[in-house]
Amino acid sequence: MSAFWSAWVTVITLAVIFGCTWLLLATRKGEKFKETTENTLGHEFDGIEEYDNPLPQWWFYMFVATVIFGLGYLLLYPGLGNFKGLLGWTSHGQWEEEMQHAEEVYAPVFAKYAALSIEELQKPENEGGLKMGQRMFANNCSVCHGAAGTGAVGFPNLTDDDWLWGGNPDQIKHSITQGRNGGMPAWADVLGEDGVRDVASYVMTLSGQEPVAGTDVTNGEKQYQALCTACHGAEGKGMHALGAPNLTDDTWLYGGSFTQIAHTIRVGRFGVMPAQKDLLSDDKIHLITAYVYSLSNK
């Protein structure tokens, strides 16, 4: 926080406290509290009048106590901008202490599993490591891939045998650590709408579907061989090195209907798997990798 905002917070906080104190004292009647009075405020509603009585003595002292407590709290804890308080406490400092404590307690556990290979972690005696990986997967990965890792439209299913970038332990760990960026270029300007439909119809035949009536599959194959084989291969088997999907199976990241395939060809697709290397330690990534690997290797 800058010096200006620190001073601003300080002034506002103290102004509110002292303003409430002044208002409390200004409304006090006389030198001593009176229990009752016959004076009214002149308000009357449905025969009910409001007496001009001061706050009860216990209530007044309770407000005074809250003011004293508020000032004391601000002196002890960091309530005034950059001022850390007499105790030197900060929320960031407390967080660091908790993280240090967690590191001391759990570091030996992580070290134990980090020494094991991904394949060794699949064994029943190392089930504890997979459960740790599962919990970290739920915290960091489930928002996209789902709690069970079954994915969603645009987010890969991690429980099957279809992998965009490869499904061996090293490839999975690389995807988690470094992230992935997949790009399917838009071909609408090159193919035109008829060409998009022809290529989409041909792509459907690669996975055993029937071509769509009114499209030219021959032209679609010709355009596919000219534009798409560099990534998907001449037979549409895909390429892990580029993250290009296999077009001959029944697994579709964005849907396998004619409309969805044509949309992909027309406008392109751009998927991003964020890198976790700056968020998670190597030991944690190792356990998440083991859990993800286990999803498709029961």
* Mean pLDDT for the stretch of residues 214-235: 96
> d(Cα 107, Cα 283) in Å, to the nearest integer?
9
User: Regarding beta strands 48-51 and 180-184, do their DSSP bridges make them parallel or antiparallel, or are they unpaired?
Assistant: unpaired
Residue 50 pLDDT exceeds 90: no
- Do 194 and 265 have their domain in common? yes
CA 271 vs. chain centroid, Å, equals 16
Residue 203 is part of a domain; what is its CATH number?
Answer: 1.10.760.10
- Kindly write down the DSSP assignment for every residue of 250-291, as one continuous string: S--SS--SHHHHHHHHHH-EEEEE---TTTS-HHHHHHHHHH
Model confidence pLDDT, tens digit, residues 53-106 = 777 788 888 999 999 998 888 888 765 556 667 777 777 788 899 999 988 998
- Do 99 and 219 have their domain in common? no
Residue 280 near residue 137 (C-beta atoms within 8 A): no
3-state secondary structure of 156: coil
- Do 288 and 164 have their domain in common? yes
Residue 188 near residue 283 (C-beta atoms within 8 A): no
- Do 253 and 290 have their domain in common? no
Q: Which domain holds residue 198?
A: 182-273
Residue 30 pLDDT exceeds 70: no
CA 273 vs. chain centroid, Å, equals 13
Query: What letter does residue 125 receive in the DSSP assignment?
Result: G
- Do 197 and 83 have their domain in common? no
- Do 281 and 169 have their domain in common? yes
The residues, any chain, with a CB within 8 Å of residue 290's CB and separated by 6 or more, are: 113, 118, 121, 122, 129, 130, 133, 169
- Say whether pTM exceeds 0.85: no
- Do 100 and 240 have their domain in common? no
Which token pair is 283? 């030991």
- Do 152 and 192 have their domain in common? no
Q: Report pLDDT for 251.
A: 92
- Do 263 and 280 have their domain in common? no
Tally the domains of the chain: 3
Degrees to nearest 5, angle at CA 62 with 59 and 67: 135
- Do 202 and 281 have their domain in common? no
CB neighbourhood size of 42 (10 A): 8
- Do 170 and 50 have their domain in common? no
- Do 135 and 74 have their domain in common? no
Half-sphere exposure of 205 (CA within 13 A, CB side): 16
**245 confidence band (pLDDT: 50, 70, 90):** very high
Which token pair is 20? 């409430």
- Kindly write down the DSSP assignment for every residue of 36-72, as one continuous string: --S-EEEEEETTEEEE-PPPPHHHHHHHHHHHHHHHH
Give the least confident one: 17-26, 47-56, 175-184, 289-298. 47-56
